[in-house]
């Protein structure tokens, strides 16, 4: 659109229409679905064109999606890496093609930070710390050892690595807390349930706490605990991460004790960052999403107002 003098109108001059390629992790959890919608809507609502690719939790799918974005000569790539390592080559290819990459949600473990513009996502180590701090406080009066089973996220992913690290960092000063079993549930309900079943089979009467790296696995595990004949949140304390609606429903039903927030609704903020970069603004390398934590006694009151 132009004005009478043939110049671009103000609206066009400030926000150029971009083609944005978005390589998403998958559809493994409630959190992920909310995150996908938030980013997709923010891109299209801002008038940009979206090229979307779902990696189904497989690194090789992400590498080929990014290569295809490069060959389509998109203006920017949004990338939420399934795992932290192994993306150097493809990110170098994007850099060589002068296509800016924005890391969303998950980080990479790569030394050369010139391979991406900025990383917008949660502080997963802090989330792990918050989970452990809640537990230490909640069980302050407990005498004797406290046996914890841990459902880890996807092996090699930033949230699985960091949530474990933050949790263990706090518990290192409290030797009565012992992680007795720890295995991946790949961030899904189905695997969370299955792995919890195996934890219960091997040591069912000695589990005091479940620490799940996300709510979906916690919800799957709650089912396993009930089927085993124990009462979740009473016989076994349940800690999750994400603060999705499903966790609020479980807490409102008295089946889950606490969830640490991980906010997936950063699509609009991400698009602002892409536009700012395109307009020549210098961005911080790391931008964190702010978040809270919620306990069972707040669940009923907050359930209806939860957006994801």
Q: At what angle do helices 215-228 and 189-203 cross, to 10 degrees?
A: 40
Q: Which of 187, 199, 211, 294 binds ligand AHR (CB under 6 A)?
A: 187
**Cβ closer to ligand AHR: 29 or 257?**
29
Q: Give the DSSP H/E element, type plus range, for residue 92.
A: helix 88-96
Are 232 and 238 contacting, i.e. CB atoms less than 8 angstroms apart? yes
* Binding to ligand AHR, residues 257-296 (CB under 6 A): 262
186 is a contact residue toward ligand AHR (CB under 6 A):
no
Q: How many residues bind ligand AHR (CB under 6 A)?
A: 13
**Cβ closer to ligand AHR: 77 or 99?**
77
The one segment of 28-36, 198-206, 251-259, 292-300 that binds ligand AHR by CB under 6 A? 28-36
Task: Tell which phi-psi region holds residue 242, choosing left (phi > 0), alpha (psi between -120 and 50) or beta.
Answer: left
The one segment of 15-23, 24-32, 83-91, 287-295 that binds ligand AHR by CB under 6 A? 24-32
Are 91 and 63 contacting, i.e. CB atoms less than 8 angstroms apart? no
CB of 126 to ligand AHR, least distance (A): 13
Cα 172 to Cα 14, 146, 208: the distances in Å are: 51, 13, 18
**Cβ closer to ligand AHR: 228 or 308?**
308
128 is a contact residue toward ligand AHR (CB under 6 A):
no
159 is a contact residue toward ligand AHR (CB under 6 A):
yes
Q: Which of 105, 150, 191, 208 binds ligand AHR (CB under 6 A)?
A: 105
* Binding to ligand AHR, residues 209-248 (CB under 6 A): 214, 216, 241-242
28 is a contact residue toward ligand AHR (CB under 6 A):
yes
5 backbone dihedrals φ, ψ, rounded to 5°: -80, 0
**Cβ closer to ligand AHR: 84 or 208?**
84
The one segment of 1-9, 29-37, 109-117, 220-228 that binds ligand AHR by CB under 6 A? 29-37
CB of 10 to ligand AHR, least distance (A): 38
How are strands ordered across the β-sheet holding 177-184?
A: 177-184, 146-152, 209-212, 237-242, 258-261, 293-295
Q: How far apart are CA 55 and CA 62, in angstroms?
A: 5
**Cβ closer to ligand AHR: 152 or 214?**
214
Q: Is 194 exposed, middle or buried (0-12, 13-18, 19+ CB in 10 A)?
A: middle
**Cβ closer to ligand AHR: 105 or 150?**
105
**DSSP structural state of residue 73:** T
> Residue 206 corresponds to which tokens in the numbers above?
């000695």
CB of 187 to ligand AHR, least distance (A): 4
Angle 202-226-295 (CA atoms, 0-180°, nearest 5)? Answer: 105
The footprint of ligand AHR (CB under 6 A) covers: 28-29, 31-32, 105-106, 159, 187, 214, 216, 241-242, 262
């Amino acid at each position: 659109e132009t004005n009478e003098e043939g110049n671009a109108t103000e609206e066009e001059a400030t926000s150029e229409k971009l083609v944005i390629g978005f390589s998403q992790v998958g559809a493994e959890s409630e959190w992920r679905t909310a995150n996908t919608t938030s980013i997709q809507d923010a891109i299209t609502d801002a008038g940009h064109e979206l090229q979307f690719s779902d990696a189904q939790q497989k690194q090789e799918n992400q590498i080929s999606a990014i290569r295809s974005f490069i060959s389509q000569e998109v203006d920017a790539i949004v990338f939420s890496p399934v795992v932290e390592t192994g993306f150097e080559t493809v990110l170098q290819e994007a850099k060589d093609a002068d296509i800016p990459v924005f890391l969303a949600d998950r980080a990479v473990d790569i030394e050369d930070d010139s391979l991406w513009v900025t990383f917008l996502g949660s502080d997963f180590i802090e989330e792990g710390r918050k989970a452990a701090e809640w537990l230490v406080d909640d069980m302050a009066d407990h005498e004797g050892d406290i046996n914890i089973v841990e459902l880890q996220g996807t092996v090699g992913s930033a949230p699985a690595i960091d949530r474990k690290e933050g949790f263990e960092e706090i518990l290192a000063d409290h030797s009565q807390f012992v992680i007795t079993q720890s295995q991946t549930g790949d961030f899904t309900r189905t695997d969370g349930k299955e792995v919890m079943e195996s934890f219960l089979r091997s040591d069912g009467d000695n589990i005091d706490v479940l620490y799940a790296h996300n709510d979906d696995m916690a919800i799957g595990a709650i089912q396993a605990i009930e089927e085993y004949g124990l009462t979740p949140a009473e016989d076994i304390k349940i800690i999750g991460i994400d603060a999705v609606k499903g966790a609020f429903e479980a807490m409102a039903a008295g089946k889950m004790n606490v969830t640490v927030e991980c906010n997936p609704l950063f699509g609009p903020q991400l698009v602002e960052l892409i536009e700012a970069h395109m307009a020549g603004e210098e961005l911080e390398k790391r931008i964190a999403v702010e978040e809270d934590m919620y306990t069972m006694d707040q669940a009923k009151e907050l359930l209806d107002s939860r957006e994801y």
